[in-house]
A = this chain, B = another copy of it.
Amino acid sequence: MTTAGQAPGQAQANLIAIPRDWAYDFLLFTHRNPKPCPVLDVLDAGETVSALKQDADVRTHAPRYRIWENGELKAEPENATDYWRDDLVTFLIGCSFTFETALTNAGVPLRHVDQGKNVSMYVTDIQCRPAGRLHGPMVVSMRWIPESLVDMAHKVTALMPSVHGAPVGAGDPRMLGIEDIDAPDFGDAVEHEPGDVPVFWACGVTPQAVLMKSRPPFAITHAPGQMFVTDMPDFAYRVG
Interface residue ranges, A against B (CB under 8 Å): 23-24, 27-28, 30-32, 39, 42, 155, 158-159, 161, 165-166, 239-240
Q: Which residues of B contact A39 (CB under 8 A)?
A: 31
> Which of B24, B166, B240 meets A24, CB within 8 Å?
B24
Q: Report 19 cross-chain contacts, Cβ distance below 8 Å, ordered by A residue.
A: A24-B24, A27-B27, A27-B28, A27-B31, A28-B42, A30-B31, A31-B42, A32-B42, A155-B240, A158-B239, A158-B240, A159-B239, A159-B240, A161-B161, A161-B239, A166-B239, A239-B239, A239-B240, A240-B240
| Bound CA–CA A204/B161 (angstroms) | 20
Q: Which residues of B contact A28 (CB under 8 A)?
A: 27, 42
Q: Which residues of B contact A24 (CB under 8 A)?
A: 23-24, 27
CB distance from A183 to the nearest CB of B (A): 33
Q: Which 10 A-B pairs have the closest CB atoms?
A: A24-B24, A158-B240, A159-B240, A27-B27, A31-B39, A161-B239, A31-B42, A158-B239, A28-B42, A239-B239
| Bound CA–CA A233/B31 (angstroms) | 19
Q: Which residues of B contact A42 (CB under 8 A)?
A: 28, 31-32
User: In this complex, what residue of B is CB-closest to A30?
Assistant: B31
CB distance from A161 to the nearest CB of B (A): 5
Highest count of chain B CB atoms <10 Å: which of A27, A32, A165: A27
Q: Besides the contacts A158-B239, A161-B239, what 5 more A-B pairs have beta carbons closer than 8 Å?
A: A24-B27, A27-B28, A31-B39, A31-B42, A165-B239
User: In this complex, what residue of B is CB-closest to A45?
Assistant: B132
Q: Which residues of B contact A240 (CB under 8 A)?
A: 155, 158-159, 239-240
| Bound CA–CA A10/B30 (angstroms) | 24
CB distance from A16 to the nearest CB of B (A): 14
| Bound CA–CA A39/B30 (angstroms) | 11
